[in-house]
């Protein structure tokens, strides 16, 4: 038998390592993760915007019907009523007012458009029709857009926090696009502190991975990991920017898509960088929209549903939606993915708990993943 002094010395040497790891990698946040983030240009945000998106999605489903997306009919019969109920009750889970690339207003109108968007979101919060989470994407911290971006944040949060009592939103997310350097993240944190203090709205931070420099630095290090730990507990996610990142790599426009191998590499590094930190990896968007005649809508739905399903299979449980009709396939693909996985997951979990020998020998980590999938589906 080893002397107790051996154990004591082992504990003495590794206790600081244990504490540092727990501080740096606290695990998943015990809060709901939205299945998507809907980007709406600042000049298009009006009171009732989420409700309007849901109504438009239901209208598209009623007009065009759902094409064959590869789901078994019995599964689809169970999913579609739930999708319709979702679109009627809570069509948007996370709203992002876009004052960056999606914004098409004139520079001289941005102040007014951002103020109006903030008033619209605040009105929806007061009416109880706002999505569960809201926020804004302003312009980047690069020199030409730095002051404009921070000014839009200031104006938006001023309007958002102007309500009284329970009617004022108490938390919002700030999305920082086109991050290129860890120092941008460090420099932005005091700005967020100042915005919180000025407007009384607690702020979460998202970083958009849209540049090669955000993935791999000049020193050969993975910049993503440094950004995650520089941002600390404010950071809730790293979002993939499909088109800016593709263009920066010189990928031809016809082949820019979230399922391009170059995007897969970046997103895999994002997943590794955020694992265990409490932040999440988020998929990007598709610009193939389900609009126009029926055949074009169906083609857009097939593309979107396939990309959502592909992301879910790769452990990316949240993505971007840019058009109301994309809500249809966002929820159809998501509900079908988790509901379709339930019978096998439940059987494997039961066998694991009851220690029944079967065709699959699950490790404890896999059992936790099975349970996590059931919980996420619920």
The pLDDT value recorded for residue 357 is 72
Residue among 70, 32, 61, 65 at smallest CA distance from 340: 70
The pLDDT value recorded for residue 164 is 43
Structure tokens at 147: 């002051």
212-264 tens-digit pLDDT: 999 999 999 999 999 999 999 999 999 999 999 999 999 999 999 999 999 99
- Residue 90 CB contacts under 8 Å (≥ 6 apart), including other chains: 54, 131, 132
Distances (CA, A) of 193 to 156, 170, 201: 15, 14, 10
The pLDDT value recorded for residue 167 is 56
Asked if residue 223 lies in contact with residue 217, where contact means CB atoms within 8 angstroms, the answer is: yes
Residue among 256, 224, 218, 252 at smallest CA distance from 238: 224
- Residue tagged 């066998």 (tokens): 351
For the chain, 378 residues long, give each residue's pLDDT as a single digit of tens. Answer: 899 999 999 999 999 999 999 999 999 998 899 999 999 999 999 999 999 999 999 999 999 999 999 999 999 999 999 999 999 999 999 999 999 999 999 999 999 999 999 999 999 999 999 999 999 999 999 999 999 999 999 999 999 987 544 555 689 999 999 999 999 999 999 999 999 999 999 999 999 999 999 999 999 999 999 999 999 999 999 999 999 999 999 999 999 999 999 999 999 999 999 999 999 999 999 999 999 999 999 999 999 999 999 999 999 999 999 999 999 999 999 999 999 999 999 999 998 888 877 667 778 889 999 999 999 999
pTM of the model: 0.93
Interatomic CA distance for residues 322 and 325, integer angstroms: 9
The pLDDT value recorded for residue 362 is 78
State the CB neighbour count (10 A cutoff) for residue 33.
16
Residue 217: phi, psi to the nearest 5?
-85, 175
Interatomic CA distance for residues 77 and 175, integer angstroms: 37
Instruction: Evaluate the CA torsion angle 354, 360, 361, 365 in order and state its sign.
Output: negative
């Amino acid at each position: 038998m080893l002397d107790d002094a051996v154990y004591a010395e082992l504990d003495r040497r590794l206790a600081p390592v244990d504490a540092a790891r727990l501080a740096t990698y606290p695990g998943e946040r015990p809060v709901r993760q939205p299945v998507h983030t809907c980007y709406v240009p600042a000049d298009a945000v009006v009171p009732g915007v989420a409700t309007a998106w849901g109504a438009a999605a239901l209208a598209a489903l009623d007009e065009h019907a759902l094409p064959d997306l590869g789901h078994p009919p019995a599964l689809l019969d169970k999913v579609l009523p739930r999708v319709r109920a979702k679109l009627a009750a809570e069509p948007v889970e996370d709203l992002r007012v876009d004052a960056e690339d999606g914004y098409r207003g004139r520079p001289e109108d941005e102040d007014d458009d951002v103020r109006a968007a903030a008033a619209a979101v605040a009105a929806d919060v007061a009416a109880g029709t706002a999505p569960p989470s809201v926020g804004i994407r302003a312009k980047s911290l690069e020199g030409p857009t730095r002051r404009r971006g921070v000014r839009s944040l200031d104006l938006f949060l001023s309007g958002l926090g102007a309500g009284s009592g329970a009617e004022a939103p108490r938390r919002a997310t700030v999305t920082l696009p086109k991050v290129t350097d860890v120092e941008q993240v460090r420099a932005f944190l005091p700005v967020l502190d100042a915005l919180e203090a000025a407007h009384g709205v607690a702020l979460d931070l998202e970083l958009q991975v849209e540049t090669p420099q955000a993935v791999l630095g000049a020193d050969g290090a993975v910049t993503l990991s440094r950004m995650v730990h520089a941002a600390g507990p404010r950071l809730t996610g790293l979002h993939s920017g499909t088109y800016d990142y593709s263009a920066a790599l010189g990928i031809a426009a016809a082949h820019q898509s979230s399922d391009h191998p170059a995007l897969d590499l970046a997103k895999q590094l994002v997943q590794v960088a955020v694992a265990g930190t409490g932040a999440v990896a988020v998929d990007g968007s598709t610009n193939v929209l389900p609009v126009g005649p029926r055949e074009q809508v169906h083609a857009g739905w097939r593309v979107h549903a396939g990309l959502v399903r592909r992301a879910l299979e790769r452990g990316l449980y949240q993505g971007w939606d840019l058009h109301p009709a994309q809500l249809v396939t966002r929820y159809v693909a998501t509900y079908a993915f988790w509901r379709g996985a339930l019978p096998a997951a439940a059987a494997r979990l039961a066998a694991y708990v009851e220690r029944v020998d079967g065709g699959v020998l699950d490790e404890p980590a896999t059992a936790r993943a099975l349970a996590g999938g059931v919980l996420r589906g619920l």
